[in-house]
Amino acid sequence: MKRLAILLLALALPGIAAATDYTVQPASSTLGFSNTFQGESFDGHFGQWTAAISYDPANLAASKFDVAVTLASVKTGDGDRDSALPGKDFFDTAKFPTAHFATTGFRRQGDQVIADGNLTLRGVSKPVSLAVTFKPQAGGAVLDVAGTVKRLDFGVGTGDYADTSVIGAEVKIKAHLQLVAK
């Protein structure tokens, strides 16, 4: 009888521990950022990216995010900026075509969930923490994440562009993802 109970528990545990896998709906999702240039705020977004999302707010240990961004797909609405960002002085997409963020864990900070992970950009990997807001909906969910990175930590805009009074030092990252359960 004891062996049967252990076997049943062992079979049930993998199902309990798994987070829900989601598919991102690209048409209603955005991955963007904001910064300042000469004191004026501007927003940008990436048109090409993929995200593997497994999430369970009741079981953060089983949750994970894995996001890859095609940096050349950046758009800010300003032609000069849009042509400069993929260049060698900023993202250097010829050498580093993608950025990658993967979670290393999740934690609660009061009522807020924080996704800790590593961001790799221009060949530099640094820890990044993102605030997570997860709202279940019929058949899926809405996932919003937000955080801040220091662009110079990743070598974005160095040299003539390192002056943080011209281009802001801190870049706000924000994503709004419409998810459908797999």
Q: What tens digit of pLDDT does each residue of 78-94 get?
A: 999 999 999 999 999 99
In whole angstroms, give the CA distance from residue 154 to residue 91: 9
Q: Read off the pLDDT of residues 109-168 as tens digits, 9 standing for 90 and up.
A: 999 999 999 999 999 999 999 999 999 999 999 999 999 999 999 999 988 899 999 999
pLDDT higher than threshold 70 for residue 19? yes
Domain ranges of the chain: 19-181
DSSP-derived secondary structure letter, 87: S
pLDDT score recorded for residue 15: 43
| Mean pLDDT across 15-24 | 82
pLDDT higher than threshold 50 for residue 9? no
| Mean pLDDT across 92-109 | 98
pLDDT score recorded for residue 7: 37
The residues, any chain, with a CB within 8 Å of residue 41's CB and separated by 6 or more, are: 34, 35
pLDDT higher than threshold 80 for residue 6? no
pTM of the entire predicted model: 0.89
H helices of the chain, where?
A: 2-17, 79-84
In whole angstroms, give the CA distance from residue 58 to residue 85: 39
Question: Could you confirm whether domain 19-181 is CATH 3.40.50.300?
Answer: no
- Pairing outcome for strands 64-70 and 74-75: unpaired
Q: Report in angstroms the alpha-carbon separations of 22 from 55, 94, 104, 112, 146.
A: 8, 31, 18, 21, 19
